[in-house]
A and B are shown apart, each in its own frame.
Chain A
Amino acid sequence: MKALNGLIEWLDHRTGIHTAARKFLYEEIPASSGWHQVFGSVALFLFLTQAFTGAMLAFNYAPTPGEAYNSLRYILTELTGGRLMRGLHHWGASLMIVVVVLHMIQVFVYGAYKKPREATWMMGVVLLLLTLGYGLTGYLLPWDNRAYWGTVVATNIAATAPVLGPYLTRLLGGPGIGVVTFARFFGLHVLLLPPVTALLIGVHVYLVRKHGVAPAPGDEALPKKQFYPRQVFKDTVAIFAAFIILFVMAVAVRVPLEQLADPTDTAYTPRPEWYFLFLFQFLKFFNGPLEVVGSMVLPGLAVLLLILVPFIDRTQMVKVTRRGFAFGFVVLAALGWGGLTAAAVVTTPAEAREAAVDYSAPTDWMQLSPEEMAGIGYFRRENCVTCHAIDGSGSQIGPDLTRTTIHRNAAWMIPHFKSPQGVRPGSSMPAIQLGDAQLNSLAAFLLKLNPQNASALENAPDFAVQGALVYQTNGCSDCHKVNGVGSDIGPSLNGLSKRRSRSWVEEHFGDPPKLSPGSSMPPFKFPAKDMENLTNYLFSLPE
């Protein structure tokens, strides 16, 4: 202990760090300080967490289109903890916006922006805009369809700015979105914004210190408190609460990754991140030449108004309970924001019929043949996992099906499926009530199963499995090839989504010669659900 004190004293003598820390911690704060003032610290903590998780992601990320997508997929599917890192960064961004806005509301409601703290407030508004800037620029970086189309909208809005439009477009690497835009957004997101933010946070905190924490009326008569330990404790508890929320979100709420950005995908409905939805909806009220009013003029005025708040309200500081007008304003703003956001959610067309493949999970199921995919369907339908383990996890009643030692051939498996006791006396496995073709599919899948591809079993989306079942039961492979399996009479179905539209394919099933004259394909009448699953499955096949 004595040695430690000696070391601290030595260090302090050279650097003054201990004295500075004490000065910082024992700063005097008004008697009224308390839980309502924790949000600034939480916002700072979240900023630092974002910087950390952002750096972690950057360690395995290639900032060019295409490569960006592949490297993010690598982070999500190949690296242990990669999904958590991305989850923390993704949800951290949302949480940061929530906390920054709460911080602002608190300052606004208490009137803490009043003289002499005008500059602190204005700096805070700039920091809010920077936080939104991260959201805007970071949105493009996964380079999936969502990122691409969301950014198309954002850059087109920037282009409508009066006078500045063309220059903004240039600055953002346009027209169009490609490698240059990507580089600009990446550069802004990781090289320019963070140091600027850090600098402005420094100025913001300096100003808070310079003027002291805003007192409430009546504080003059009371003895001052110290920042440490009581207020530091409160800040720390609030930070911990935010951290727990963030961590739980990152673990429990999966952040999807859509397919690679496809600039030719005309069916995609872009939708911005939730905190921009109100603007997205607001824009719908303005058409034609008025659009710029909704996209630029009014949002610009709102920001200006926000910056000028301390000069608009120059009244004396009063108790928070007497600031009814400020409360009312916040409630109105919240209602307006909430209403617009809700309207946006309700009116945006429900997720396109296109079944979304979650590319943040392994997609090795895409390499399977339709027969093997159908096997997954029978495997799920027959609830094989109630007795069998897959790659070491699950029930231990029957053997682990990924262990190659139990793999025989189809000639052994199929009689075994039909009569387990006949092949292996004493087995407690019930007979599987399926036809020969179906048992063949099941065997085809099981023969392929090994610890490396066992995740396909888990990750194959239901629409694809159901689609493959339709494909298999209708004997499509008698004429078509998928993933190299099948016959060459008809065209290979890989990459169908690039050649044909969904409506074309669905109409084609009903009357092939009408759409492709000379086709020898018989007509198929599918129930609506089967048709949807089959088309979705075929459209999800790799090229």
Chain B
Amino acid sequence: MDHVQPPETRPGSPGPTRRSFYSAAIYGIWGVITAALAAPALIYLLVPPRMRRQSEWVDAGSLSQVPTGTPVEVTFRQNRVDGWKVTSETNTAWVLKTANNEVVAYGPQCTHLGCAYHWDSGKNEFLCPCHNSVFAIDGRVVGGPAPRPLDRYETKVEGNKLLLGRLQISPEKSA
């Protein structure tokens, strides 16, 4: 396999100590260069962007339109930071006003694979059409493959106005 003479036997070759110094230096330097390029590149690709924009509260309309005890789908406009752009897009939430006047706003996507679910008023449950996940009115998983309860928006009520904050991802295992 080796068509080339072993270097040690060559005239004018550096001696074995020299040789190992050279190869150690070569490997060492290339190791340093590779690390010095790879580490910043990984940081650059993996560290999330610094967000200079404060979390905004979005006006999701008047609470008087929300009946007590039945979730309704509320549509609102929201600015979304997308890389170097801020896009204004329509978003929805399922808003529920409970009897003791607490407000809950669920994110509109099923926690299984992100399909849009809907409220089945006959069964009093949220149903996802994709894989038949079922959620109770408090967001708990009642059936189907969904791994965690419905996600909730941060909510704030000012006067009669409903303000929505960030979507909080609910932890796995039902709350």
Q: A interface vs B, CB < 8 Å?
A: 9, 12-13, 18-19, 22-23, 26, 31, 49, 52, 56, 59-60, 62, 67, 70-71, 73-74, 77-82, 84-85, 223-226, 228-230, 232-233, 236-237, 239-240, 243, 247, 362, 364, 452-453, 455
Interface residues of B in 1-40 (CB under 8 A from A): 1-4, 7, 10-14, 19, 22-23, 25-26, 29-30, 32-33, 36-37, 40
Are the CB atoms of B37 and A52 closer together than 8 Å?
A: yes
A49 cross-chain contacts in B, Cβ below 8 A: 37
**Residue among A74, A81, A82 with most chain B CB within 10 A:** A81
Given A12-B1, A225-B12, is A70 in contact with B84 using a C-beta cutoff of 8 Å?
yes
Across the interface, which residues of B come within 8 angstroms of A226, CB to CB? 7, 10, 13
Known contacts A56-B44, A70-B84, A78-B50; A233/B7 CB under 8 A: no
The chain B residue with its CB closest to the CB of A232 is B26
- Complex CA distance for A84 and B38, rounded to whole angstroms: 12
**Contacts A23-B4, A78-B50, A226-B7 given; does A233 touch B32 at CB 8 Å:** no
Task: Give B residues with C-beta under 8 Å from A.
Answer: 1-4, 7, 10-14, 19, 22-23, 25-26, 29-30, 32-33, 36-37, 40-41, 43-45, 47, 49-54, 83-85
CB neighbours (8 Å) of B33 from chain A are 239-240, 243
- Determine if B29 and A239 form an interchain contact, defined as CB atoms under 8 angstroms apart: yes
Take A12-B1, A71-B83, A240-B32 as given contacts and tell me if A79 and B44 are in contact as well, using a CB distance cutoff of 8 Å: yes
A236 touches B30 (CB 8 A): yes
Min CB gap A349→B, angstroms:
34
Tell me whether B52 and A452 are in contact (CB under 8 A). Answer: yes
Question: Are B49 and A74 neighbours in the complex by a CB distance under 8 Å?
Answer: yes
A459 to B36, CA, bound (A): 28
Give B138 Cβ to nearest chain A Cβ, in Å: 34
Are A74 and B84 in touch, CB under 8 angstroms? Answer: yes
Whole-angstrom CA separation of A239 from B85 in the bound complex: 39
Instruction: List residues of chain A with CB within 8 A of the CB of B7.
Output: 26, 226, 228
A247 nearest CB neighbor, chain B only: B36
**Do A81 and B44 contact each other (CB < 8 Å), given the known contacts A22-B2, A226-B7?**
yes
Interface centre among B29, B32, B47, B53 (most CB of A within 10 A): B29
| A362 CB contact (under 8 Å) in B3, B49, B52 | B52
Q: Which of B4, B32, B44 contacts A22 (CB 8 A)?
A: B4
Q: Is the CB of B41 within 8 A of A85?
A: yes
> What separation, in Å, do the CA atoms of A62 and B45 have in the docked complex?
16
Contact across chains for B45 and A236 when beta carbons are under 8 A apart: no
Task: Determine the distance from Cα of A488 to Cα of B123 in the docked complex, in whole angstroms.
Answer: 59
What are the 3 tightest A-B residue pairs by CB atom distance, in nearest-first order?
Answer: A74-B84, A81-B44, A229-B22
Asked whether, in the complex, the Cβ of B36 is within 8 Å of the Cβ of A243, the reply is: yes
Question: In the bound complex, what is the Cα–Cα distance between A13 and B2 (angstroms)?
Answer: 12
Contact flag A78-B22 (CB < 8 Å), given A226-B7, A240-B29? no
The chain A residue with its CB closest to the CB of B53 is A452
Instruction: Verify A26–B4 contact, CB threshold 8 A.
Output: yes
Complex Cα distance A233/B22, Å?
6
Chain B residues, CB < 8 A from A84: 40, 44
Question: In the complex, how many angstroms separate the beta carbon of B4 from the nearest chain A beta carbon?
Answer: 5
Instruction: Give Cα A236 to B24, complex, Å.
Output: 11
| CB pairs A–B below 8 angstroms (14 shown) | A19-B1, A19-B2, A23-B3, A59-B45, A71-B84, A74-B83, A74-B84, A77-B50, A78-B50, A79-B50, A81-B41, A223-B12, A226-B13, A247-B36
Provide the bound-state CA to CA distance between A22 and B7, in Å: 11
Contacts of A52 in B (CB 8 A): 37, 41
Cβ-defined contact, B84 with A81, below 8 A:
no
Q: Please give, as numbers and ranges, the residues of chain A lying within 8 Å of B37 by CB-CB distance.
A: 49, 52
A31 vs B10: C-alpha distance in the bound complex, in angstroms?
Answer: 13
Nearest-neighbor residue (CB-CB) of A55 within chain B: B41
CA distance A223 to B49 in the complex (A): 58
Question: A416–B29 Cα gap in the complex (Å)?
Answer: 58
Q: Are B14 and A230 in contact (CB under 8 A)?
A: yes
Q: Residue on A with the closest CB to B19? A: A229
A278 to B111, CA, bound (A): 63
A236 in contact with B11 given A12-B1, A22-B4, A70-B85 (CB within 8 Å): no
Q: Are A82 and B44 in contact (CB under 8 A)?
A: yes
In the complex, A79 Cα to B13 Cα: how many Å?
A: 49
Q: Which residue of the partner chain, among B4, B11, B32, B36, contacts A223 with CB atoms under 8 Å?
A: B11
Query: Is the beta-carbon distance between B36 and A236 smaller than 8 angstroms?
Result: no
Q: Cβ of A80 and Cβ of B54 under 8 Å apart? A: no
Q: Cα distance A18–B4 when bound, in Å?
A: 12
Closest to A222 in B: B12
In the assembled complex, the CB of B149 is this many whole angstroms from the nearest CB of chain A, namely 31
In the complex, chain B residues whose CB is within 8 Å of the CB of A452? 51-54
Residues of A within 8 A of B29 (CB): 236-237, 239-240
On chain B, the residues within 8 Å of A60 by CB distance are: 83
* A144 vs B173: C-alpha distance when bound (angstroms): 51
B23 touches A229 (CB 8 A): yes
Asked whether A229 lies within 8 Å of B26 as measured between CB atoms, the reply is: yes
Residues of A contacting B3 in the complex (Cβ-Cβ under 8 angstroms): 19, 22-23
Cβ-defined contact, A80 with B84, below 8 A: no
